[in-house]
Amino acid sequence: MRQLKSIFFRFLIVLFGGMFSALQIAEDTGIMRFSPLKESAYEILEVKCNTCHRKQNPFKVFSYKNMGKYAPKIYKEVFVKRRMPKGDEHHLTKEEYDVLEQWLLTQNIP
Ligand code: HEC
């Protein structure tokens, strides 16, 4: 009986571990999106940044998957140097700055 219990618990651990990794993979690959904050930040990057980057700086087109990697650069360009968004046509609203900032705060920027 004891052995049965132990097998059962091991089964549960593997089951939940597996579910958790599957969710993590789905999130990382962008198949599924779970974070509303990241989702909103991504929408801003797509509308206010990618529209221009796609033409002028194709090596830095932000995606749901790569935006975490670019977070330190995004922070530097938008909040420190204030070089981005470049030009007069792509201003961020106060709300958009807030959303980006809130998301960047979750990103462990050095
Ligand atoms: C109107 C065009 C335009 C818009 C809008 C724009 N960018 Fe850029 N961005 C560029 C160009 C061109 C470069 C490459 C040359 C440079 O660094 O100035 C660049 C470079 C960058 C870089 C790379 C800097 C580096 O050191 O490699 C980052 C990060 C960046 N942009 C972030 C953003 C973010 C975030 C937004 C939106 C909030 C944005 N950009 C909006 C044109 C734009």
Amino acid at 7: I
27 lines ligand 1 (CB under 6 A): no
Overall average pLDDT of the 56-84 stretch: 95
* Structure confidence by residue, pLDDT tens digits, 13-25: 888 888 777 777 7
Euclidean distance between the first and the last CA atom of the chain, given in angstroms as a whole number: 52
CB distance 41 to 107 below 8 Å? no
Residue 71 has pLDDT above 90, yes or no: yes
Q: How far is the CA of 97 from the centre of ligand 1 (A)?
A: 15
How far is ligand 1, taken at its centre, from the CA of residue 81, in Å?
Answer: 11
Could you tell me if the CB of 66 is within 6 A of ligand 1? no
Write the residue with the smallest CA distance to atom 11 of ligand 1: 57
The residue among 54 and 32 whose pLDDT is bigger is 54
What is the per-residue pLDDT across 44-64, written as a single tens digit (0 to 9) for each? 999 999 999 999 988 899 999
Q: Is 38 in the pocket of ligand 1 (CB under 6 A)?
A: no
Asked if the model's pLDDT at residue 34 lies above 80, the reply is no
Q: Which atom in ligand 1 lies closest to the alpha carbon of residue 78? A: 35
> What mean pLDDT is reported for the chain?
89
**Structure tokens that stand for 4 in this block:** 């049965």
Sign of the CA dihedral with 43 first, then 45, 46, and 48 last: positive
CB proximity list for 34: less than 8 A, separation 6 or greater: 23, 27
